Amino acid sequence: MTVVSGAFLLFLLITIGIYYACPVQYRWQVLLAASLVFYVLAGKWQFLPCVLLTAFVVWSGALRLSNLDDELKTKLKEPGVDKQRKKDLRATYKSLRKRTLIGVLVLCIGALCVTKFSGVVISALEGIASIYSQGVHVDPTILLMPLGISYYTFSTVGYLLDVYWHRYPCEQSYPRFLLYTIYFPHILQGPISRYNRLGASLKLDAHFDERNLVHGGERIIWGFFKKLVIADRLNLMVTTVYNGEPHAGSIFLVVMVLDALMIYMDFSGYMEIVCGASQMLGVELEENFNHPFFSRSVAEFWRRWHMTLGGWFKDYVYYPVSVSSWMKKLNRKNAQRFSKRVTRVISVAIPCLITWMLTGLWHGTGPNYVCWGIYYGVLITISVAFQEEFEQLDEHLGINVESRSWKLFQMLRTFCIFVGGRVLTSPGNLANTAMVFRNIFFNLQPWQWFDDSIWTYGLTRDDGHILFISLLVVLVVSIMQERMSVRDEIDRRGTLFKWALIYIGIIVVIVFGVYGPGYDAAKFIYMQY
Amino acid sequence: MDRIIEILSSIKSGVDFANEDQIVSGGILDSIDITELITALEEEFDIEIGMEYMENENFDSVEAIWDMVQELQEA
């Protein structure tokens, strides 16, 4: 079962019915049962023990950290404990806490690495065996890749680190913690929720609110529109062209842009559906997108695209590296050796590159994802290192940085940089990426933009018209959302207007959604991570 | 507190930090600015800012930063 299916809508309706029919104090248990059922229906039942075990290991690890804190406090208060003894106790418990943390991290991150890298390791072993003429083939189906492992591992590890850093108290109840881990709207593709937000929201007694039901439903229809009408239509051309075969450079250029739009519509469409579903249950999920294509710089883009993943890497990788004792030591040494400017650049570059390399590896294990990480790490480091020069250049050229045309140029520039990053990974591997660029530079054939060739790559002229109008609708709605709450505005226009829009939305999705042969709604791009 | 305002202004000029209460959550300082701020605060006040203090509310206003610095100096 995927979230873009009638089965999911039926599952959601049944869950909502039971959820609100139950007394308030039992509703979280309904959500837990529904989430367990959803996880089994969405994948294989064999995946379930992996999630249950991860949740248990993290929950018990956090509980142990909390118990160690309590033990220390009790021992410090015991009579006759002198200053030296207090110091020793603190050191002992600090070490015990650290060992507990590392143990749990090794188990959880280790399980994630095994599932992510086992395919690469097996391919390498098969390659080595073939050199010695030993035909070894490992059936890839033996590899267990639990659905959503990247997402639930990050959510739970974030919780463990927060407890370790005393940001909030640990959860005492395992079923409650399991609900946070496996809550069905966020388990497969995120958002990577923080325990202090989602956990708290799940603990609130959700009372029936018609507004939540209607607004949630509106978001679901909007998500279906983005996914089925736009993303899956764009997917027809993108998969036709990115098939490893050479095409005219002009076609590759079009597909590079369409691919960038497709992944946005695909992923943000998914988020609209799950956030809407969660809102119908009275539980607020964190937002993952804030109109990223309106960003004026790469750094801003990554604060508006997949926000919960960016936030996770910022809080649990970038900051810990930046403020680590070894980084501070290095900065002090560099300050003695180099100028203030060089020291600053190094202090930014190292955490940036580490963070982006890991972000790349989170998305995929091939060399193309490593290049993708380096690409963004270097770009962001350059933007920080040469910020003064860029500002001076703007001044020297007499550019009004607050003018509309300059802002638009910056948005287009950021979009092009994003397209450049996508082309490192979307064609499948670096050889295909090189082939794309070879054709762009040496086999452009620009006339294919003007004759009918473009309509021979999976899309018809009618598809083109539907895409143009649909993307225009998304653009107008996005501009409106930047200035106001569109849903409140719809409410203000009256019941008739609101329901007319809802019915139009449903009809548009049914009529213009892509359901043709070869269509597979299960393939959300971000689910593979 | 004046010294904190000076440090903040040296990281990002043209902001009225004294009257700002969303320095981080409002996006005035980004993650790179924050690490610079931490280094400057640690040097200026001879403190060590651990990960447990790395939360928006500790950096959102000059008063919040000052409270955090005092707490760390007393620890």
CA-nearest residue of chain B to A317?
B51
Q: What are phi and psi of A56, to 5 degrees?
A: -65, -45
Q: Which of residues 2 through 21 in chain B touch A, CB cutoff 8 A?
A: none
Interface test with A, best of B32, B38, B42, B56 (most A CBs within 10 A): B32
Distance from CA of A310 to the nearest CA of B (A): 11
3-state secondary structure A502-519: HHHHHHHHHHHCCCCCCC
Mean pLDDT in residue range A375-387: 87
Residue the block writes with tokens 């570059």: A349
ipTM of model = 0.83
The 10s digit of each residue's pLDDT in A157-213 is 999 999 999 999 999 999 999 999 999 999 988 899 999 988 888 887 777 888 899
Is B30 an interface residue toward A (CB < 8 Å)? yes
Distance from CA of B35 to the nearest CA of A (A): 6
Burial group, residue B17, by CB count within 10 angstroms (0-12, 13-18, 19+): buried
Looking up residue B58, the CATH number of its domain turns out to be 1.10.1200.10
Pick A520 or A24 by higher pLDDT: A24
The number of folded domains in chain B is 1
The 10s digit of each residue's pLDDT in A225-252 is 999 999 999 999 999 999 888 999 999 9
Q: What's the pLDDT score for residue A399?
A: 86
- Asked if A184 contacts A40 with a C-beta cutoff of 8 angstroms, the reply is no
Q: Could you say which of B39, B42, B51 has the minimum Cβ distance to residue A319?
A: B51
Look at B54 and A331 and tell me if their CB atoms are within 8 Å.
no
Q: At what angle do helices A367-385 and A404-425 cross, to 10 degrees?
A: 150
Question: Considering only A67-81, A303-317, A334-348, which range has the smallest mean pLDDT?
Answer: A334-348
Q: What's the pLDDT score for residue A131?
A: 65
Question: For A222, what's the count of Cα atoms within 13 Å in the CB-facing half-sphere?
Answer: 20
Is A437 an interface residue toward B (CB < 8 Å)? no
Mean pLDDT in residue range A71-95: 88
The 10s digit of each residue's pLDDT in A40-61 is 998 878 889 999 999 999 999 9
The 10s digit of each residue's pLDDT in A105-124 is 999 999 888 888 877 777 77
Q: Alpha-carbon distance A41 to A18, whole Å?
A: 18
Q: Could you say which of A167, A314, A352 has the minimum Cβ distance to residue B52?
A: A167
Look at A314 and B31 and tell me if their CB atoms are within 8 Å.
yes
Q: What's the pLDDT score for residue B55?
A: 85
Mean pLDDT in residue range A389-409: 89
Is A319 an interface residue toward B (CB < 8 Å)? yes
3-state secondary structure A200-246: HHHHCCCCCCHHHHHHHHHHHHHHHHHHHHHHHHHHHHHHHHCCCCC
Supply the DSSP string of A258-279, one letter for each residue.
HHHHHHHHHHHHHHHHHHHHHH
Q: Could you say which of B30, B39, B51 has the minimum Cβ distance to residue A165?
A: B51
Q: Residue A435: which H helix or E strand, with range?
A: helix A430-442
Q: Which domain holds residue B49?
A: 2-74
Is B32 an interface residue toward A (CB < 8 Å)? yes
Dihedral, CA atoms, A23, A25, A28, A34, nearest 10 degrees? -30
Q: Which of residues 86 through 125 in chain A touch B, CB cutoff 8 A?
A: none
Look at A318 and B42 and tell me if their CB atoms are within 8 Å.
no
Residue the block writes with tokens 């900065």: A331
Residue the block writes with tokens 């010294």: B3
Look at B38 and A318 and tell me if their CB atoms are within 8 Å.
no
Q: Could you say which of A303, A315, A331 has the minimum Cβ distance to residue B39?
A: A331
Burial A294-325 (b: 16+ CB within 10 A, else e): bbbbbbbbbbbbbbbbbbbbbbbbbbebbbee
A and B: number of Cβ contacts within 8 A: 41
The 10s digit of each residue's pLDDT in A424-452 is 999 988 999 999 999 999 998 888 888 88
3-state secondary structure of A476: helix
Is A384 an interface residue toward B (CB < 8 Å)? yes
Q: What's the pLDDT score for residue A522?
A: 45
Look at B31 and A319 and tell me if their CB atoms are within 8 Å.
yes
Contacts of B10 in chain A (CB under 8 A): none
Is B57 an interface residue toward A (CB < 8 Å)? no
Is B33 an interface residue toward A (CB < 8 Å)? no
Contacts of B52 in chain A (CB under 8 A): 165-167
The 10s digit of each residue's pLDDT in A358-375 is 999 888 878 899 999 999
Distance from CA of A475 to the nearest CA of B (A): 24
Q: Alpha-carbon distance B11 to A348, whole Å?
A: 14
Give the count of beta carbons closer than 10 Å to the beta carbon of residue A421. Answer: 20
Give the count of beta carbons closer than 10 Å to the beta carbon of residue A387. Answer: 11
Q: Which of residues 183 through 202 in chain A touch B, CB cutoff 8 A?
A: none
Distance from CA of A261 to the nearest CA of B (A): 26
Is A296 an interface residue toward B (CB < 8 Å)? no
- Asked if A153 contacts A109 with a C-beta cutoff of 8 angstroms, the reply is yes
Q: Could you say which of A315, A318, A323 has the minimum Cβ distance to residue B49?
A: A323
Please say if the pLDDT value at position A310 is more than 60.
yes
- Asked if A523 contacts A239 with a C-beta cutoff of 8 angstroms, the reply is no
Q: Alpha-carbon distance A339 to A344, whole Å?
A: 9
Interface test with B, best of A164, A322, A329 (most B CBs within 10 A): A322
Look at B51 and A384 and tell me if their CB atoms are within 8 Å.
no
Q: Could you say which of B32, B49, B50 has the minimum Cβ distance to residue A348?
A: B32
Q: What are phi and psi of A121, to 5 degrees?
A: -65, -45
Please say if the pLDDT value at position B48 is more than 90.
no
Task: Please name the residues in contact with A203: beta carbons below 8 A apart, sequence gap of 6 or more.
Answer: A28, A176
Look at A165 and B38 and tell me if their CB atoms are within 8 Å.
no
Q: Alpha-carbon distance A35 to A28, whole Å?
A: 10
